[in-house]
């Protein structure tokens, strides 16, 4: 039989993993990537001995990564040297208290009981529920394709609606476990990873703190970018051809089929199968003939964006952990500002990553490498925000809050600074509305209701990545690569 060919648009984690999977199944694969290297949002910046992961920094759900390597005939431990980060985070509350989230139960017990007597038992029950949610959600909703409504609207999924507490608000629900506002915040702030407010998110998301504390938060030696490097090299060894600095301008179609892609330089790449890893709403708007879908997608809910600051520091900052979370006292208003008003809260919550605290090689000796991530609204097409002013305010808020925990001279020690704003995310990776996480994860955009991984009309055009099923996050995108590949192979009549 003649060898099948695939053209992949974008070398984000979803594109790399799908390319590698298809190559392993005998496909001849070409990946066209807009920017100068692979990784997409999971990218790297190196300057004066400081190594920054510019996007993801939290390696969670290690079993998903391990499965990707295993499916490619490799062992994850031969490629990634993982260190467990425990405590996973140090959380700073605005009243000056801190909490180290750790899997060491004795340490957790002492900290929790000091904040709210009796809360340790509640914490164990909460984890137990998170474990149940994790198992059910992965088995029935996340790690499977929904090819038609009959596979989604089932009696079992109706029962799941209740078992997973999909209709119960997370923040309300956590009141069954804790009274202390700080504890309620410490075990719900993770909803922001899927850009949901705990006041709107389903209680299902207790699965995230559970996953972080039980399966661990890890960090690969060399940083998160090591994952992109490892998967790219496996793909290359299977024959995948990566073309960098090669933006795709158009997906070529003929009747009900995609025939390949045309690059910005006019070069045409023909293919039996086209896989779009570039952000799905962007693909509909810019790479496909307009059939009305782009307009409909534009009106969907988008996840938040992020203001990021990358600082090379000429001294160490011992007050910070590898992952430090600063939670605002105006917890609810913070989510409303970002997700409803599409702006920066008065008192933003934010996160600081200090990678050299996990891998000392990521900063010059005696120095530090810091990244601050401040969640902010995505670009508002109808009423454009003043990003310069917002960015200045965010920077000031971060420096001020750091000063409050004793890092009061940071600005004087910043050797150099880089940053990214929502327009920056949009222009670099073609992310619609500059959303850092793609299409939102509200219930009406999940499961079968999320854009599918195969185009409705062009039956050999597939989607992989954060804005298709199952959603955002590196591990989730790796699952999307597996699901898209399974579908491609099924359609081609090959056993997965
Ligand atoms: C600041 C930030 C922090 C994050 N933190 C975490 C975290 O801690 N943990 C976690 O798991 N996840 C995190 N995420 C989410 C995670 O990074 C993403 O969900 C994931 O990397 C998305 O991968 P993807 O393959 O879907 O898309 P992308 O990474 O967007 O890749 C798509 C690729 O397509 C390319 N492309 C676009 N248009 C074209 C075109 N016309 N032609 C050719 N190529 C094109 C882009 O350049 C890009 O390389 C974070 C994201 C951000 C932005």
Q: Is the pLDDT of residue 389 over 90?
A: yes
**Token pair of 98, please?**
């801190």
Instruction: State the average pLDDT over residues 449-471.
Output: 97
pLDDT at site 19: 99
pTM reported for the whole predicted model: 0.97
CA of 41 from ligand 1 middle (Å) equals 3
pLDDT at site 494: 76
Which of 90, 93, 489, 467 minimizes the C-alpha distance to 302?
Answer: 467
CA of 13 from ligand 1 middle (Å) equals 7
Which residue's C-alpha comes closest to atom 1 of ligand 1?
55
- E-assigned strand segments in 144-254: 217-220, 241-243, 248-254
Half-sphere exposure (Cβ direction) of 32: Cα atoms closer than 13 Å:
24
Q: Which atom of ligand 1 is nearest to the CA of 263?
A: 42
CA of 43 from ligand 1 middle (Å) equals 8
Rounded CA separation 216/344 (Å): 30
Q: Which atom of ligand 1 is nearest to the CA of 305?
A: 53
Q: Which atom of ligand 1 is nearest to the CA of 57?
A: 8
Q: Which helix (H) or strand (E) holds 232?
A: helix 225-237
Instruction: State the average pLDDT over residues 364-393.
Output: 97
Which residue's C-alpha comes closest to atom 16 of ligand 1?
473
- Which DSSP string do the residues of 29-98 spell out, in sequence order? EEEE-SSSSSBTTS-EEEETTEEEESS---B--HHHHHHHHHHTT--HHHH--EEEESSSEEEE-TTS-E
Does ligand 1 come within 6 angstroms of the Cβ of 11? yes
What are the Cα distances from residue 158, in Å, to 118, 162, 163, 315? 34, 7, 9, 55
Rounded CA separation 279/275 (Å): 12
What are 207-257's pLDDT values in tens digits? 999 999 999 999 999 999 999 999 999 999 999 999 999 999 999 999 999
- The whole-chain average pLDDT of the chain stands at 97
Which band of pLDDT confidence, cut at 50, 70 and 90, is reported for residue 1?
low
Instruction: State the average pLDDT over residues 326-336.
Output: 97
Place of tokens 């920056």: 424
Instruction: State the average pLDDT over residues 462-484.
Output: 98
CA of 354 from ligand 1 middle (Å) equals 21
Which residue's C-alpha comes closest to atom 38 of ligand 1?
278
What are the Cα distances from residue 335, in Å, to 77, 122, 309, 377? 38, 25, 20, 10
Which residue's C-alpha comes closest to atom 19 of ligand 1?
473
**Token pair of 466, please?**
């954060």
CA of 353 from ligand 1 middle (Å) equals 18
Place of tokens 């001279």: 409
List Cβ neighbours of 468 (8 Å cut-off, separation of 6 or more).
280, 450, 451, 452, 453, 480, 484
The answer to whether the CB of 282 falls within 8 A of the CB of 432 is yes
What are 171-189's pLDDT values in tens digits? 999 999 999 999 999 999 9
pLDDT at site 208: 98
CA of 12 from ligand 1 middle (Å) equals 5
pLDDT at site 495: 54
Q: What angle do CA 207, 213, 214 make, to 5 degrees?
A: 80
């Amino acid at each position: 039989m003649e060898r099948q060919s695939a053209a992949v648009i974008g070398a984000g984690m979803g594109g790399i993993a799908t390319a590698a999977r298809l190559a392993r199944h005998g496909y001849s694969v070409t990946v066209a990537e807009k920017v100068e290297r692979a990784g997409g949002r999971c990218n790297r910046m190196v300057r004066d001995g400081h190594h920054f992961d510019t996007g993801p920094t939290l390696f969670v759900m290690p079993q998903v990564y391990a499965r990707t390597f295993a499916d490619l005939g490799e062992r994850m431990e031969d490629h990634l040297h993982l260190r467990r980060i425990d405590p996973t985070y140090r959380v700073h509350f605005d009243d000056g208290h801190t909490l180290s989230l750790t899997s060491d139960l004795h340490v957790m017990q002492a900290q929790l009981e000091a904040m709210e007597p009796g809360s340790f038992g509640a914490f164990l029950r909460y984890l137990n529920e998170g474990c149940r949610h994790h198992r059910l959600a992965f088995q029935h909703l996340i790690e499977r394709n929904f090819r038609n409504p009959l596979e989604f609207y089932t009696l079992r999924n109706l029962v799941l609606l209740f078992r997973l507490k999909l209709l119960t608000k997370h923040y309300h629900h956590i009141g069954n476990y804790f009274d202390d506002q700080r504890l309620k915040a410490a075990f719900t702030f993770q909803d922001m990873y899927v850009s949901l407010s705990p006041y709107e998110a389903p209680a299902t998301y207790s699965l995230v703190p559970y996953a972080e504390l039980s399966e661990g938060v890890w960090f690969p030696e060399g940083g998160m970018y090591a994952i992109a490097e490892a998967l790219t090299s496996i793909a290359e060894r299977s024959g995948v051809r990566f073309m960098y600095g090669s933006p795709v301008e158009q997906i070529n179609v003929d009747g009900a089929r995609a025939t390949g892609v045309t690059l910005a330089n006019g070069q045409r790449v023909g293919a039996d199968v086209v896989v779009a890893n570039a952000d799905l709403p962007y693909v509909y708007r810019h790479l496909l003939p307009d059939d009305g879908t782009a307009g409909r997608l534009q009106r969907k809910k988008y996840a938040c964006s992020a203001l990021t600051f990358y600082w090379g520091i000429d001294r160490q900052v011992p007050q910070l952990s590898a992952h430090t979370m600063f939670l605002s006292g105006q917890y609810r208003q913070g989510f409303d500002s970002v997700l409803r008003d599409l702006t920066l809260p008065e008192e933003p919550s934010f996160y600081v990553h200090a990678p050299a605290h996990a891998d000392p090689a990521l900063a010059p000796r005696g120095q530090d490498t810091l990244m601050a991530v401040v969640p902010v609204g995505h670009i508002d097409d109808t009423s454009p925000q003043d990003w310069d002013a917002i960015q200045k305010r965010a920077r000031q808020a971060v420096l001020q809050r750091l000063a409050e925990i004793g890092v009061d001279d940071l600005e004087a020690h910043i050797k150099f600074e880089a940053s990214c704003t929502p327009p920056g995310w949009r222009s670099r990776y073609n992310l619609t509305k500059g959303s850092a996480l793609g299409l939102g994860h509200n219930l009406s955009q999940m499961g079968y209701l999320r854009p599918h991984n195969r185009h409705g009309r062009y039956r050999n055009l597939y989607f992989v990545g954060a804005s298709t099923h199952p959603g955002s996050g590196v591990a989730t995108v790796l699952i999307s690569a597996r699901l898209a590949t399974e579908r491609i192979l099924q359609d081609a009549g090959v056993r997965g």
